[in-house]
């Protein structure tokens, strides 16, 4: 029996059992990290057919799989059919959440088993904008001239340079806000993928639970 035939036979046995409950985040990690399914984004002409992005076109790919056509996946060994279904749904992520580009990023996060970096514990801090190298690892520069001032010495004005150390925020408030917007977009995209998987009814060995990542992990109320 071929590898593909053996895998399909194994899947048929597992389908007779109770489905395994799993969260959407863990399902993506299983599909992309363990099963190593590959995210194949649709060709431009295929994306224009039918309902476009979303569950309609994803279901079209899944129906092709039911007829024996591989929809997504790669490598030398076949992926579990549920993993291919996950990849098909994710590949048609709505444009409102970033479409193909963000779907690829989500697949990479799942493959690495991580969540987007929302910068836990980050607080804006004032730091020198320019560091001069030194034998001990660097020091703030004071070589920036901010202006010219003068003081009186026995009725004579003596001018001098006013030097300052430029500062900046690291991380800046905008960097922290951007990281947390990225996390929130990822969570909303996960919710859409979960909804589309449930609506499709095509998961054979897994059943999605309601569990979701924290909405705002940086908030004390989360």
Specify the pLDDT at position 102. 94
Both 139 and 77 in one domain: the answer is: no
Mean pLDDT check: name the lowest of 44-58, 60-74, 191-205, 206-220. Answer: 44-58
Helix (H) or strand (E) holding 26: helix 24-29
Q: Could you read off the pLDDT of 88-133 as tens digits, one per residue?
A: 999 999 999 999 999 999 999 999 999 999 999 989 988 888 777 7
Higher confidence at residue 13 or residue 198?
198
Q: What are the tokens at 191?
A: 């919710």
d(CA 199, CA 93) in angstroms, rounded, equals 14
Both 113 and 42 in one domain: the answer is: yes
Both 86 and 189 in one domain: the answer is: yes
For residue 15, pLDDT beyond 60:
no
**Strands (E) located in 20-172:** 20-22, 126-128, 131-132, 139-140, 144-153, 156-164, 167-169
pLDDT band at 46 (very low <50, low <70, confident <90, very high): very low
Cβ–Cβ under 8 Å, residues 54 and 95: no
Is residue 143 domain-resident?
yes
Both 147 and 187 in one domain: the answer is: no
Both 137 and 29 in one domain: the answer is: no
Specify the pLDDT at position 167. 82
Both 95 and 179 in one domain: the answer is: yes
d(CA 167, CA 217) in angstroms, rounded, equals 30
Domain span at 165:
126-169
pLDDT above 90 covers a percentage of the chain that reads: 47
Both 77 and 163 in one domain: the answer is: no
| Residue 16 buriedness (CB in 10 A; 0-12 / 13-18 / 19+) | exposed
Contacts with 201 (C-beta within 8 Å, 6 or more apart), sequence order: none
**Would the pTM of this model clear 0.75, i.e. be above it?**
no
Pairing mode of beta strands 131-132, 144-153: unpaired
Both 107 and 179 in one domain: the answer is: yes
Q: What are the tokens at 15?
A: 């389908």
Q: Could you read off the pLDDT of 144-155 as tens digits, one per residue?
A: 778 888 888 888
Is residue 25 domain-resident?
yes
d(CA 27, CA 82) in angstroms, rounded, equals 9
Both 63 and 150 in one domain: the answer is: no
Is residue 68 domain-resident?
yes
Both 141 and 190 in one domain: the answer is: no
For residue 186, pLDDT beyond 90:
yes
Both 194 and 84 in one domain: the answer is: yes
pLDDT above 70 covers a percentage of the chain that reads: 72
209 bridge partner residues:
none
Q: What are the tokens at 51?
A: 């309902």
Is residue 218 domain-resident?
no
């Amino acid at each position: 029996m071929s590898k593909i035939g053996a895998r399909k036979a194994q899947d048929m046995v597992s389908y007779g059992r109770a489905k395994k409950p799993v969260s959407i985040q863990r399902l993506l990690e299983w599909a992309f990290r363990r099963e190593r399914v590959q995210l194949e984004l649709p060709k431009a002409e295929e994306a224009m057919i039918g309902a476009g992005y979303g569950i309609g076109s994803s279901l079209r790919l899944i129906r092709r799989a039911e007829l024996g056509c591989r929809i997504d996946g790669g490598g030398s060994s076949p992926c579990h059919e549920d993993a291919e279904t996950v990849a098909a749904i994710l590949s048609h992520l709505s444009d409102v959440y970033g479409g193909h580009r963000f779907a690829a990023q989500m697949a990479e996060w799942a493959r690495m088993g991580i969540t987007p970096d929302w910068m836990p514990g980050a607080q804006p801090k004032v730091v020198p904008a320019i560091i001069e190298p030194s034998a001990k690892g660097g020091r703030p520069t004071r070589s920036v001239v901010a202006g010219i001032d003068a003081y009186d010495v026995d009725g004579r004005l003596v001018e001098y340079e006013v030097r300052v150390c430029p500062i900046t925020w690291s991380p800046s408030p905008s960097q922290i806000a951007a990281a947390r917007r990225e996390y929130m977009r990822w969570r909303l995209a996960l919710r859409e993928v979960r909804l589309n998987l449930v609506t499709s009814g095509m998961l054979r060995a897994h059943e999605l639970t309601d569990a979701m990542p924290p909405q705002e992990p940086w908030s004390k109320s989360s």
